[in-house]
């Protein structure tokens, strides 16, 4: 038996210990227990007050009934002294008996038989039944009057006992409520102390440490230690701060490493940019490539580069190898396998090409043998592409220059064919005609008219030649239609003694050389007509874009045209008509109000022209 008791006691103690740890390690549990205790105390106080009030609710009625018994006794005594009728006395006696048997008194008298209140009312009932009622029934006044005083004394004693019982119950209620209030105050004080010690102080410290940590103090830690929730929060915050501090150190080292790499990469990119600008301005040569390799190796310490070039023929037998620092080798393809410079197993080979044509390869490795990083390989590939572009740029420049010369030659040939060649053909026909007329012996007047036509043809041919020379000088000198039109306007303004207002807004695209020459020649021919025929004081020249068309307009305030315009009878108008056809456009001669002439040309430039010709 003792062994069983000894085995149960440690288990019970261990259970109490676990419960105490559970209570001390949980703030919500402690707060919940405090709330439950306060609620239990409040409920107990309320229940006790209600119970005592329910038990004492008949005390006041019993006291009132006992008091009414005294008044009924005094009234019965007074009636008896006044010789009241027997019937009235009998009625008062019955009322007295009814008051003694009232429910209020009966509830009070339901206690134990030895209760003083029950004993007092039993004596009162006995005194009434054995003394007062017989004396009243027999009409013995002296006996009745002698028994009244003891009867009233017993009533007063019973009332006093009921009052003492009620006061005792009220004392119990006050004691219970006072104890409940005191316990509630004690629990609240303990709760406030616990709240300040275990909640407010740790929360304040955690808030301050959090603010310090947010402001950059990564060494800030919470000193509060406990097994409850706030202690776990503090421990978690310290663990998080340790992790963040370690991550911050790691990130700082990574950022420093990345910054160093970015600095190297930016320096290499800046070198490539400067080199590309130099290559764009000057043709690439061996000295420039040597300098580029040397500078690139300086930006990436430990890197060694070799540029092997074989030209546009990949099967060529000879190579040139550039290593930087003015080291160059002329070798053959058979020497690549035995090259002592680049036998590293970590060798990177990047093809140097341009427009799909291989020009050589760029070999790269590090002195210590470590492989190149991905960003370094991208820079080396960019260097190889730049070298390939620089090697092909000079050839492209030469081809572009040849195409430009051919284009200019074709333009000059077309202009000579369309203007001067036709004029010479016309004069050749006139010469043959004159030769025929001379052989026939025609009259001198006819020969003179043919001679005049021949002279006019020569003058027109000479004028066209001068116009062409002037146009070519303007075009070749400036390469700008706006400037050429401005020079033309100034030239004819001086010749014709009129003002020329030029309006040529910038175009969002460029015109071809034939288009520029045709527009310039049309403008010159129109201004030439103004000089010779219009007698104008002011001329307006404009070139604007309207939707898919360009509109060239030349207006003057001169005498205007007389009748319909026949281009076959005016050589200048025929030239304008011919060049308009070259542009694929239309030209109209219109009167200008109140007086003058407007020449309007519309055409679709080649830049805006679709696969099919622009509709007029």
Here the CATH number for the domain that contains residue 290 is 3.30.450.40
CB 596 within 8 A of CB 556: yes
Contacts of residue 86, defined as CB under 8 A and 6 or more positions apart, other chains included, come to none
The per-residue pLDDT for 569 is 45
Window from 332-346, 368-382, 567-581 with minimum mean pLDDT: 332-346
In this predicted model, which residue has the larger pLDDT, 463 or 502? 502
Quick one: 554 exposed, middle or buried, by C-beta within 10 A (0-12, 13-18, 19+)?
Answer: buried
600 vs 440: CA distance, rounded Å: 48
Query: What is the pLDDT, as a whole number, of residue 568?
Result: 47
Mode of pairing for the β-strands spanning 348-354 and 318-324: unpaired
Decide which of 121, 148, 176 is a domain's last residue.
176
Residues 172 and 256 in one domain: no
Range of the domain at 500: 481-616
Same domain, 524 and 594: yes
The CATH number given to whatever domain includes residue 172 is 1.20.120.960
Alpha carbons 207 and 377: distance in angstroms, whole number: 50
Q: Domain boundary at 176, 193, 228, which?
A: 176
Whether residue 257 lies inside any domain: the answer is yes
Q: What is the predicted pLDDT for the residue at 542?
A: 94
Q: Are 143 and 245 found together in one domain? A: no
No. of helices (H) and no. of strands (E), the chain: 17, 10
* Assigned domain for 503 exists: yes
Q: Which of 360, 357, 334, 362 is nearest to 347 (CA)?
A: 362
| Residue with more model confidence, 460 or 206 | 206
Q: Do 121 and 155 fall within a single domain?
A: yes
Mean pLDDT throughout 469-473? 63
Structure confidence at residue 107 as a pLDDT band (50, 70, 90): low
- Position 70 in a domain: yes
Please give the average per-residue pLDDT across 556-572, as a whole number. Answer: 66
Whether residues 272 and 303 fall in one domain: no
pLDDT higher than threshold 90 for residue 551: yes
pLDDT grade for 25, boundaries at 50, 70 and 90: low
Q: Can you tell me the mean pLDDT for 178-203?
A: 82
CA distance 393 to 400: 10
Q: Are 543 and 519 in contact (CB under 8 A)?
A: yes
pLDDT at residue 604 is higher than 90: yes
329 and 262 co-located in one domain: no
Work out how many domains the chain is built from and give that number.
4
- CA gyration radius, the chain: 65
- What does the pLDDT look like over 381-423, one tens digit per residue? 887 787 777 777 766 666 665 665 566 566 666 666 656 666 7
Share of the chain above pLDDT 90, in %: 7
Closest CA to 191 of 57, 324, 34: 34
- Confidence at residue 476, expressed as pLDDT on a 0 to 100 scale: 41
Contacts by 482-490 with C-beta closer than 8 Å and gap 24+? 482/506, 484/516, 484/520, 485/519, 485/520, 485/523, 485/541, 485/543, 488/520, 488/523, 488/524, 488/527, 489/527, 489/541
Residue 206 pLDDT > 70: yes
Of 74-78, 482-486, 518-522, give the lowest mean pLDDT range.
74-78
Confidence grade of residue 615 (pLDDT, cut at 50, 70, 90): very low
CA distance 295 to 520: 51
The mean per-residue pLDDT over the stretch 69-89 comes to 76
Q: Is the pLDDT of residue 585 over 80?
A: yes
Both tokens assigned to 21: 């740890």
The pLDDT mean for the chain works out to 76
**pLDDT of res. 447:** 78
d(CA 542, CA 502): 6
The answer on pLDDT for 111 being more than 80 is: no
Domain identity same for 507 and 548: yes
Residues 380 and 496 in one domain: no
Distance (Å, whole) CA 467 – CA 244 = 83
**Average pLDDT value for residue range 167-185:** 81
* Dihedral (CA of 440, 444, 446, 451) sign: positive
pLDDT value at residue 491: 87
pLDDT for 112 beyond 50: yes
pLDDT at 15 over 70: no
pLDDT band at 541, cuts 50/70/90? very high
> Poorest-confidence range of 149-158, 410-419, 470-479?
470-479
Domain termination residue (choose one: 243, 259, 281): 281
Identify the DSSP state of 600.
E
Contact 309, 319 (CB under 8 A): yes
Residue 235 is predicted with a pLDDT of: 82
Residue labelled with tokens 């950059």: 216
Within-domain flag for 79 = yes
Q: Cα 370 to chain center, whole Å?
A: 41
Q: Is residue 28 part of a domain?
A: no
Least confident of 110-124, 381-395, 523-537: 110-124
Contact 30, 192 (CB under 8 A): no
Stretch 92-100: mean pLDDT = 76
Assign residue 495 the CATH number of its domain. 3.30.565.10
pLDDT attached to residue 616: 42
* 11-25, 422-436, 441-455, 543-557 — most confident range: 543-557
Three-state secondary structure call for residue 351: strand
H/E run at residue 232? helix 229-281
pLDDT tier at 553 (50, 70, 90 boundaries)? very high
Mean pLDDT of 423-440: 78
Highest mean pLDDT, choosing among 67-71, 156-160, 508-512: 508-512
Alpha carbons within 13 angstroms on the beta-carbon side of residue 497 total: 3
Whether residues 319 and 265 share a domain: the answer is no
Alpha carbons 363 and 18: distance in angstroms, whole number:
75
Q: What pLDDT score does 549 carry?
A: 92
Percent of the chain at pLDDT > 70 equals 75
Instruction: Name the token pair of 205.
Output: 């410290």
The pair of structure tokens assigned to 514 is: 């034939």
pLDDT at 539: 94
Find the mean pLDDT for residues 322-337. Answer: 60
In angstroms, how far is the first alpha carbon of the chain from the final one? 126
Question: Is 490 inside any structural domain?
Answer: yes
Residue 90 sits in the same domain as residue 141: yes
Q: What is the pLDDT of residues 247-306, one digit of tens each?
A: 888 888 888 888 877 877 787 777 777 767 766 666 667 777 777 778 777 777 878 787
Residue 95 lies in a domain: yes
How sure is the predictor about 430, in pLDDT bands with cuts at 50, 70 and 90? confident
**pLDDT of amino acid 563:** 57
Which residues, including other chains, have CB under 8 Å from residue 471's CB and lie 6 or more apart?
A: 415, 484, 517, 520, 521, 524
CA distance 555 to 591: 9
Structure tokens at 416: 């000579």
Residue 533 and residue 582 share a domain: yes
Q: What gap in Å lies between CA 271 and CA 387, rounded to an integer?
A: 13
- Residue 545 backbone zone (phi > 0: left; psi -120 to 50: alpha; other: beta): beta
Residues 160 and 274 in one domain: no
- Choice among 22-26, 505-509, 529-533, 564-568 with the minimum mean pLDDT: 564-568
The secondary structure of the chain in percent helix, strand, coil, rounded to multiples of 5, reads 70, 10, 20
Q: For residues 73 and 536, which has the higher predicted lDDT (pLDDT)? A: 536
Residue 368 lies in a domain: yes
Token pair of 468 as six digits: 């062409």
């Amino acid at each position: 038996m003792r062994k069983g008791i000894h085995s149960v006691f440690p288990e019970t103690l261990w259970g109490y210990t676990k419960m105490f740890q559970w209570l001390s390690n949980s703030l919500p549990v402690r707060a919940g227990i405090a709330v439950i205790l306060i609620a239990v105390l409040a409920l107990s106080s309320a229940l006790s007050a209600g119970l005592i009030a329910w038990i004492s609710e008949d005390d006041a009625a019993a006291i009132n009934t006992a008091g009414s018994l005294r008044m009924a006794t005094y009234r019965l005594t007074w009636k008896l002294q006044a010789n009241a009728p027997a019937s009235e006395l009998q009625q008062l006696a019955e009322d007295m008996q009814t008051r003694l048997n009232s429910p209020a008194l009966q509830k009070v008298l339901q206690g134990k038989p030895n209760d003083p209140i029950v004993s007092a009312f039993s004596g009162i009932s006995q005194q009434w039944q054995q003394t007062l009622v017989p004396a009243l029934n027999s009409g013995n006044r002296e006996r009745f009057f002698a028994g009244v005083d003891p009867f009233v004394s017993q009533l007063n004693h019973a009332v006093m006992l009921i009052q003492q019982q009620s006061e005792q119950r009220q004392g119990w209620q006050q004691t219970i409520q006072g104890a409940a209030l005191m316990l509630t105050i004690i629990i609240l004080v303990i709760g406030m102390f616990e709240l300040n010690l275990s909640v407010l102080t740790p929360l304040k410290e955690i808030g301050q440490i959090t603010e310090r940590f947010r402001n950059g103090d990564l060494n800030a830690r919470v000193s509060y230690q406990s097994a409850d929730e706030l202690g776990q929060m503090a421990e978690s915050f310290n663990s998080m701060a340790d992790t963040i501090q370690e991550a911050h150190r790691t990130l700082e080292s990574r950022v420093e490493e990345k910054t160093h790499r970015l600095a190297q990469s930016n320096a290499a990119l800046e070198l490539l940019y400067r080199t590309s600008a130099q290559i764009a301005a000057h043709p690439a040569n061996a000295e420039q490539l040597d300098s580029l390799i040397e500078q690139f190796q300086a930006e990436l310490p430990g890197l060694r580069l070799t540029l092997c070039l074989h030209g546009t023929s990949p099967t060529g037998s000879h190579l040139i190898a550039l290593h930087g620092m003015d080291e160059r080798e002329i070798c053959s393809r058979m020497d690549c396998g035995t090259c002592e410079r680049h036998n590293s197993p970590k060798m990177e080979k990047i093809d140097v090409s341009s427009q799909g044509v291989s020009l050589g390869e760029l070999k790269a490795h590090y002195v210590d043998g470590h492989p190149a990083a991905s960003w370094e390989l991208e820079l080396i590939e960019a260097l190889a592409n730049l070298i390939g572009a620089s090697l092909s740029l000079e050839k492209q420049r030469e081809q572009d220059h040849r195409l430009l010369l051919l284009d200019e030659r074709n333009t000059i040939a077309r202009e000579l064919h369309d203007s001067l060649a036709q004029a010479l053909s016309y004069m050749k026909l006139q010469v043959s005609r004159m030769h025929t007329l001379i052989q026939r012996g025609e009259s001198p007047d006819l020969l003179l008219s043919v001679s005049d036509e021949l002279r006019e043809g020569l003058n027109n041919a000479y004028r066209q030649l001068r116009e062409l020379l002037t146009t070519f000088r303007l075009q070749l000198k400036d390469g700008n239609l706006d400037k050429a039109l401005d020079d033309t306007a100034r030239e004819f303004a001086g010749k014709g003694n009129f003002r020329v207002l030029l309006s040529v807004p910038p175009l969002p695209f460029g015109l071809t050389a034939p288009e520029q020459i045709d527009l310039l020649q049309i403008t010159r021919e129109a201004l030439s007509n103004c000089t010779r025929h219009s007698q104008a004081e002011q001329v307006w020249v404009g070139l604007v874009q309207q939707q898919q068309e360009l509109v060239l307009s030349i207006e003057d305030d001169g005498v205007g045209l007389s009748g319909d315009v026949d281009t076959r009878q005016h050589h200048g108008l025929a030239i304008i008509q011919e060049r308009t056809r070259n542009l694929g456009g239309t030209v109209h001669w219109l009167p200008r109000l109140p007086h003058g002439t407007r020449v309007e040309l519309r055409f679709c430039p080649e830049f805006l022209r679709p696969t099919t010709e622009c509709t007029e």
